[in-house]
Every structure is written in C-alpha cells, then in structure tokens.
Chain A
Amino acid sequence: MSLVTKSAAELTKAMAAKDVSAVEVVQAHLDRIDATDDQTGAWLTLTADQALADARSVDDRRSNNEKLGPLAGIPVAIKDVMCTKGTTTTAGSKILEHFIPPYDATVVANIRAADGIILGKTNMDEFAMGSSTENSAYKVCRNPWDTDRVPGGSSGGSAAAVAGFHAPLSLGTDTGGSIRQPASVTGTVGIKPTYGRASRYGLIAFASSLDQAGTFGRTVADAAAGLQVICGHDPKDSTSIPKDVPDFSEGLHNGVEGLRVGVVKQFMEGGEGVEPGVIAAVNASVERLDALGAKIVEVELPHAEYGLPAYYLIAPSEASANLSRYDGVRYGLRVDGDTTHEMMAATRAAGFGAEVKRRIMIGTYALSAGYFDAYYGQAQKVRTLIIRDFDAAFAQADVLVGPTCPTTAFGLGDKTADPLAMYLNDIYAVPASLAGMPAMSLPVGFDDAGLPVGLQLIGPLLGEGVMLQTAAALEAELDLDLTPQGPNALAAPSKDTA
C-alpha cells in the first residue's frame, strides 16, 4: 500500500514503530499533490518547505524520545478561511489576495501543538459562501470521483484533498452544511461539532452564530482524532463552551446495540430535486443499523422546512456586517478612489464575487430600517422552533439520521445560474446548524452512477460521542472501498512507495 492511502491512525502507528519517518509521510503526500492537483484544484497555497521542516522536527524529537502530540507527523490540510501566521490567508477571495495574518487561528494553533504537519491552505467558496467551491475567486476545484463534477462546498478543497489522498486529515468550516455536504459528495467523513466546541478565533467570519470548525477524514476514527485536537474551550471566543471535551475515541467500538436511532421523517420524504438513489442508500444503511441491534424510531422535525429560509436571512445578515471590514483601508485589496468612501465602494465592488455581493445585499436589506423584525427577528424565532423540534426528537432518540444532501455530486456549472437551486443543497444540513447540534456525514453507499452518498448523523448538544459511536459501527459494518473510481475519477495512488 502507498503511504498516502493509509489512514492517519495507521500512519501514526507506523511512525511510532519507526517503520516510516514523518518526512517520508509528508513527502509522499506532497508528491501526490504535485502529481494530481492540476486535476483537483484542491489547494490555494502549499507550504511544502515548512511542512518538511516541521516533519524533520517531529522525527528529531521522536529519535530523542521526546513526548509528541497526538497528530505527530500527520499531514493536515487547512481550509483557507483559517488564519495561519505568516502564510497567506484569502478565504477564497480576491479582496484578501495578499493578506498575511500575524496570528494563528486557535484551531490551527491546536493542530500545530498536536504536532500535526500543515501542508497548506485549501480551496473554498469565497468567504465560505457556496455549495460547490465554484465561488472560489482563484481556481476551479474538482471532485476526485469525477473531475467534471463539483466537490461540494464551501469546504470543497479540504474534502477533495482528503478524498484524493493529498492528506489523511483536513480542517473545514460548516455554517450551513459546508463540511457535511462536501463530505457527502466526495465520499469522506465530515464532522461539525456542537456550536461552541471548537474555537472560532481566527476563522474568517461568515455567519458568526453558525460558523463552526470541523474535520474531514477517510475514516470516522481519523476525523474524530482531528476533532479531538481542535475542540476545547478558548477564552478568546466568547461563544466557546467552557466545558471539558470528552474522549471522542472512547465509544467508537461500542456498537449500536440498544441505541435509539431516529430517522427524520421530513428528510426522507423525497420530492422535487431529491435523488431517489440517495434515499435508497440512506434506507439501506438504516436497515443495517437495525440489523446491528439499534432501535429504529421515526422522529419529526416539523419546522425543518423553515430552516433554509431562516438560514438565508440569518447568515447573510450576519455576513453583511462581518464583511464590512474589507474596505481597502487596513489590509487586502484597494481600488483607488477620489474620496475614502469612493475608494471603499470601488474596492468592495472589485474584490467581492457575485455570490458574496448577493449575500451582502440580502443581509443589508434584511437588517435595514423597517425590516429587522420581519426578517432577522422572525428567523431567530424560527430558530427557537427548530431547537424545540430537536429537543422533542432527542426525547425519543439518542441520535438522528437522514440524508446529508438531496443529491450526489452534480456537474460543474449545473447550478451556478440559479442561486436558490444551489441553496437547496443545504436543506437537510441547515436545521442542525441553526440548532447548534453536532452533525456529520458518513459515506454509506453509491448511487446508480457510482457516486458516493452520505448519511447525516445528528447528535444532541455536546453529544458528539453517541453520534461518532453510531457512525463508527455503521462504517465497520459497511466496510466500503472509498477509493474514487469511475471513468472520470482521479487516478488512484501508485503503490510503489513504502
């Protein structure tokens, strides 16, 4: 087996046994990126020299028998929405083309402290607004399963990097599905923890009350191990939950015997725009859970249908203010103007892409005089209703399941003309975002075209453990081969190394 196809857990074991060095591991992944990223477009910035230096440091410390962090030597891809000290951080936008932060996001600092090796920054929809990574101001990002299809978004680069064997682990952010949806369409595991579990400090803000960092891996254990490292209370983030984080690996082998698994009725109804193959794969995995001894119950989220409309008021409203700081004064792009305000308006016109402008406009309108109560205010009330729905559902079930998104990966350009059609990708993802619940996507099968289908699992607040336990049991039971395959798939890694 090639080094790049190994899981982080396997690599950790091999490095601990000194069968392979961190430098070799990192070099193998850099080589894979070098060989294939012209097809995936997963990366915006590579920091190869720094990564190799960091790997050497891990190897040196290992040979000195120094204590190493839990991700020692593991290559990690970082979504370009996370600030990295000294490394360009653009959020996929022209307005931040040459921005170099003087500080690390807390989640990035956590990865470094765990001795993870940061390979670089991944492609994304501009300011994390999008479901296909087609809103990147820099380059097209492609799905390793079919390079004519999108990798989902907004964390498309981080998903493609893991699916394409560029790294066993990556970080993304999820505001209304931006980890789960790309995980679903790239056949990877993507986890969004409870809102407040992982610090938002240093995450370039999209919608502050929803943004949450999380991880991608090719296995539940890898994604959970990464999650363990990035979670924890951060006094620099007022919305960070001041509670200890339990050991996420603890229940991974406990099975689902006796667990109550709630199937969300509203997510299974299908309808226009929902691919039957997705519902079929989800149903099949529910049967497997049943066979494993889980108690399957049907639960309802009656207000789920109001989630997406509420989301499209809350997120753009918050974004409209969060993105005001990009004005050409302190950092980033500047387009000259005769007065400061003309300069600002010209800079923002040139620096933001169409989708970002659209959302700034929606948000500005929704917050403008006379509309606040009808829009933002009402949306925040819907949020209450959705939380109440979840509370009722979690009275009946320990974990909820349903599809992550209505379809498998769609073609590049298929939905760019119709913003609303694009937004509908997140219809199942958004309720958990609004309610702050931990949620994840697990690959559970394939549609007729051979494209991966994701199952969404949702835990109660701070209930990552039960969600991961369920996912791990199903993953083991399904034992899928998640190497991208098909006529337009990225070539599998060669098997000549290690």
Chain B
Amino acid sequence: MALSNDDVRHVARLAQLDLTDEEVEGLAPQLAGILAYAEKVSTVAADDVPPTSHAYPLANIFRDDDNVIEPLSPEQVVANAPEEQDNQFRVPRIIGDPT
C-alpha cells in the first residue's frame, strides 16, 4: 500500500504531532512498509474467530464506592505543571469546541 504525504499529515493532525516536511516525507514510505507487513494479519483469521483483548479473561472487576481516598493537595496536583496560576493549569487560548 502507498501512503501520500497528505495521508501522513492527516494522521499527524489526529495525533496532534507537528511534523516537519522532512519527517513527513521520511514517514510515508516507512509507515507504508510497516503497514504492508502488518497487513499479513488481514488474511489469516476467519470471520468466526472471536477477537481477544486480554489473554487472561476477567470480567466485572469493580471498585467499592464506599472506599474513598484523600485527593492530592492542589499544590501536588500542579507540582509538575509547566505553567500554573492559582492552583490551576494555565494554557494558551483554546480554539474550538471539544466535541
């Protein structure tokens, strides 16, 4: 399969990665090669084979709502923040609505 530079740019936008033109051009054939290799999987499993998400099957793993823990202090919450103000995370202006 072939991947155009525009395909790569589209995926980079989804992944929120600001790639240089050089990176885009390098990645297009690499991704195509890896995906072509990975495509081997598409032929092997019949339709009636169920998918497995975890090798050891578990279900209904729930936490008891009555066990409440102490939250972090607001100072701990922002301790690693690149930029904070009044115990909140400061970010540049936001363009666009979330969903």
Where the two chains meet, the residues of A that have a C-beta atom closer than 8 Å to any C-beta of B are 98-100, 102, 194-196, 209, 235, 238-239, 241-242, 303, 305-306, 308-310, 312-313, 320, 324, 327-334, 336-346, 348-349, 352, 354, 357-358, 360-362, 364-366, 368, 374-375, 377-385, 387, 419-420, 423, 434-437, 461
Q: Which residue of chain A has its CB nearest to the CB of B44? A: A306
A378 x B54 contact (CB < 8 A): no
Q: Is B19 in contact with chain A by the CB < 8 A criterion?
A: yes
Q: What chain B residues lie within 8 Å of A357 (beta carbons)? A: 17, 19, 23, 27
CA distance A55 to B11 in the complex (A): 50
Q: Is B74 in contact with chain A by the CB < 8 A criterion?
A: no
Interface residues of B in 1-49 (CB under 8 A from A): 7-8, 11-12, 14-20, 23, 27, 30-31, 33-35, 37-42, 44-45, 49
B81 x A337 contact (CB < 8 A): no
Q: What chain A residues lie within 8 Å of B27 (beta carbons)? A: 357-358, 361
B52 x A334 contact (CB < 8 A): no
Q: What chain A residues lie within 8 Å of B12 (beta carbons)? A: 361
B11 x A195 contact (CB < 8 A): no
CA distance A352 to B16 in the complex (A): 12
Q: Which of B39, B79, B82, B94 has the most CB of A within 10 A?
A: B82
B8 x A362 contact (CB < 8 A): no
B96 x A341 contact (CB < 8 A): yes
What 4 A-B pairs are tightest by C-beta distance, nearest first? A436-B55, A380-B51, A331-B80, A381-B45
A interface: dominant SS: helix
B83 x A334 contact (CB < 8 A): yes
B17 x A348 contact (CB < 8 A): yes
Q: Is B91 in contact with chain A by the CB < 8 A criterion?
A: yes
Q: Which residue of chain A has its CB nearest to the CB of B61? A: A238
Q: Which of B15, B41, B50, B61 has the most CB of A within 10 A?
A: B41
B31 x A435 contact (CB < 8 A): no
B81 x A331 contact (CB < 8 A): yes
B interface: dominant SS: loop
B38 x A313 contact (CB < 8 A): yes
Q: Return the CB mask of B85-96 against A: 1 if under 8 Å, else 0.
A: 000010111111
Q: Which residue of chain B has its CB nearest to the CB of A345? A: B18
Q: How far is the CB of B51 from chain A (nearest CB, A)?
A: 3
Q: Is B76 in contact with chain A by the CB < 8 A criterion?
A: yes
Q: What chain A residues lie within 8 Å of B54 (beta carbons)? A: 195-196, 209, 239, 436
CA distance A195 to B54 in the complex (A): 8
Q: What chain B residues lie within 8 Å of A420 (beta carbons)? A: 33-34, 37
Q: Which residue of chain B has its CB nearest to the CB of A346? A: B18
Q: Which residue of chain B has its CB nearest to the CB of A235? A: B63
Q: Is B72 in contact with chain A by the CB < 8 A criterion?
A: yes
A384 x B18 contact (CB < 8 A): no
Q: How far is the CB of A356 from chain B (nearest CB, A)?
A: 10
* Partner of A309 from B37, B76, B96 at Cβ < 8 Å: B37
CA distance A366 to B79 in the complex (A): 35
Q: A343-B91, A343-B92 are in contact. Are A306 and B82 (CB under 8 A)?
A: no
Q: What chain B residues lie within 8 Å of A344 (beta carbons)? A: 16
Q: How far is the CB of B68 from chain A (nearest CB, A)?
A: 14
Q: What chain A residues lie within 8 Å of B35 (beta carbons)? A: 362, 365-366, 375
A313 x B56 contact (CB < 8 A): no
Q: List 15 A-B contacts (CB under 8 A).
A: A195-B55, A238-B61, A242-B61, A309-B40, A329-B89, A336-B92, A345-B18, A358-B34, A361-B8, A361-B12, A361-B31, A365-B7, A365-B31, A384-B49, A423-B34
